Homo-oligomer: A and B are copies of this chain.
Amino acid sequence: MAGYTGSKDDYLKRLRRVEGQVRGIARMVDEDTYCIDILTQVSAVTKALEAVSLGLLEDHLAHCVVDAARESDEAGAAKVREAADAIARLVRS
């Protein structure tokens, strides 16, 4: 079980939509669509992926980090460290 297991179907649905959007962008490139219109679509996909990440992160804090905090000081500190690294990657990507 992962922190997001309760919303698994929702994440899968969103990821399939993103997959379709990426395929749509490839089609636009193939048809020489105007650059700016492609950029708009790529920004939409990036935002959708960002929303997936923020959701997964909240689920992770709510389950894995909270559970570790209750287990022991060491377990809590390790999970916080790991979550902070993931947040940094997310902010910088």
Report yes or no: A35 in contact with B4, Cβ–Cβ below 8 A: yes
Report yes or no: B64 in contact with A35, Cβ–Cβ below 8 A: yes
Query: Which residues of A from 7 to 50 have beta carbons under 8 Å from B?
Result: 8, 11-12, 15-16, 18-19, 22-23, 25-26, 29-30, 32-36, 38-40, 42-47, 49-50
A contacts with B, residue count (CB < 8 A): 64
Task: Please give the distance in Å from A88's CB to the nearest CB on chain B.
Answer: 5
Task: Please give the distance in Å from A67's CB to the nearest CB on chain B.
Answer: 8
Which residues of B sit under 8 angstroms from A11, Cβ to Cβ? Answer: 29
* CB contact between A92 and one of B38, B77, B92 (< 8 Å): that residue: B92
Task: Please give the distance in Å from A43's CB to the nearest CB on chain B.
Answer: 4
